[in-house]
Amino acid sequence: MPNTKVNKILEEAYARGAEAAKNGKVATYIPELGKADPADLGICLCLPDGTRYEIGDTDKRFTMQSISKVVSLALALEHCGPKEVFSKVNMEPSAEAFDSFVELDLRSNRPYNPMINSGAITVASILKEKITINALLEYTRKVCLDPDIDFNEAVYKSEKDHMSRNRSIGYLLESKGIITTGVEESLDFYTRACSMNVTARGLANLGVVLAMDGIDPFTGEQLMPRRIAEVVKTIMLTCGMYDGSGEFAVMVGIPTKSGVGGGLLSASDDRLGIGIYGPALDEKGNCIAGRPVLEYLSEQLELSLFDKADIVDALRKAEANERKKAEKESLRVLRHRGVKTFLPFNVKKDK
């Protein structure tokens, strides 16, 4: 049965996001993305029991763009193992923009993390040796619980025609020995992955699968190994919002990954998954509506990874119960010895 309180919270979150969207702009460096309506906004919550709460454009399809980096990383870890993957890409936050190659060129011989373009192109170069792009598509359909996900050919071609920067990154990776074969093939794999069409609902499904450490909430099937889900969520928290990840972790505290197509994927451990679609972006290339939406949801539903309120309350109750038990036992012993006692107000006298 729908929860009226959650619906009201979701409506308020939507209103805050819609207001923020007025100050954003759609991505135009990929011309096809520039056709999106900046006023579009959809929010979907998916709980571990499969219950969904939705508002707005939750079934409107858009391209994953950088959110595909989450799926590619998970599949690379599953097929190749952490040792091989992290021998070529680091796990550290970056202080540069998602498409920058400054750090790679001047400070490191490996990309800082798999959530920026240089790291994701590296992951694509590893994956293409193990699987086909259609296998990645099938895996994405599985973990998003959405069999209708497909490639958006118009966006793919538009991105291929305007990828000078990513091509520069690819050949810089080759010059450093990170990509050893097939730069163009790696770039094509990466671009195809970015063009997969999803919905906010599908991202919420993926979010709850991650939140439940890889388990399908509807069937109980383990779709992703538990340890891989844990690694992916950790990197989402520290690197998923690019050079704004630190501030986002403080203010929201939910592992989240953005994409310039307007998507946001969030996973609140053991609680729920969140999918957001809002193509109006901020200056860092993140969905501008997503920040106020997720801040409000995190506060109202206590979704932050660092929110210990429920744990502290439970501990306090446990301590209070233990104190009551100890008081009763002390009184019992004293009465047994014939000592007259005065009971505190919160302890009932035994009959």
pLDDT given at position 240 = 92
Same domain, yes or no: 312 and 251: no
Measured distance CA(60)–CA(234) in Å, rounded: 28
Contact between 47 and 88 (Cβ < 8 Å): no
Same domain, yes or no: 75 and 28: yes
Same domain, yes or no: 140 and 235: yes
pLDDT given at position 306 = 85
Confidence band, pLDDT 50/70/90 cuts, at residue 312? very low
pLDDT at 119 over 60: yes
Same domain, yes or no: 237 and 109: yes
For the chain, give the percent of residues with pLDDT over 90.
74
Backbone angles phi, psi at 72, to 5 degrees: -60, -40
Q: What would the pLDDT profile of 164-214 be if each residue is shown by its tens digit?
A: 999 999 998 999 999 988 999 999 999 999 999 999 999 999 999 999 999
CATH classification at residue 225: 3.40.710.10
Measured distance CA(241)–CA(321) in Å, rounded: 43
Measured distance CA(206)–CA(71) in Å, rounded: 9
Same domain, yes or no: 223 and 343: no
Structural domain tally of the chain?
2
Same domain, yes or no: 122 and 204: yes
Q: Who has greater pLDDT, 48 or 343? A: 48
Residue 208 class from Cβ within 10 Å (0-12 exposed, 13-18 middle, 19+ buried)? Answer: buried
Whose tokens are 């996001």? That residue is 17
For the chain, give the percent of residues with pLDDT over 70.
83
**How many helices (H) and strands (E) are present in the chain, helices listed first?**
14, 7
Same domain, yes or no: 275 and 332: no
Q: Which residues contact 146 (CB under 8 A, 6 or more apart)?
A: 198, 199, 201, 202, 205
Q: Who has greater pLDDT, 306 or 147? A: 147
Question: Residue 336's domain spans which residues?
Answer: 308-351
pLDDT at 317 over 80: no
Same domain, yes or no: 338 and 281: no
pLDDT given at position 307 = 77
* Least confident span in 75-79, 114-118, 318-322: 318-322
Average pLDDT over residues 216-242: 95
Same domain, yes or no: 250 and 323: no
Neighbours of 113 (CB within 10 A): 24
Q: Which residues are catalytic?
A: 66, 69, 190, 242, 260
pLDDT given at position 100 = 67
Average pLDDT over residues 140-147: 98
- Given the DSSP bridges, would you call strands 42-46 and 272-277 parallel, antiparallel or unpaired? antiparallel
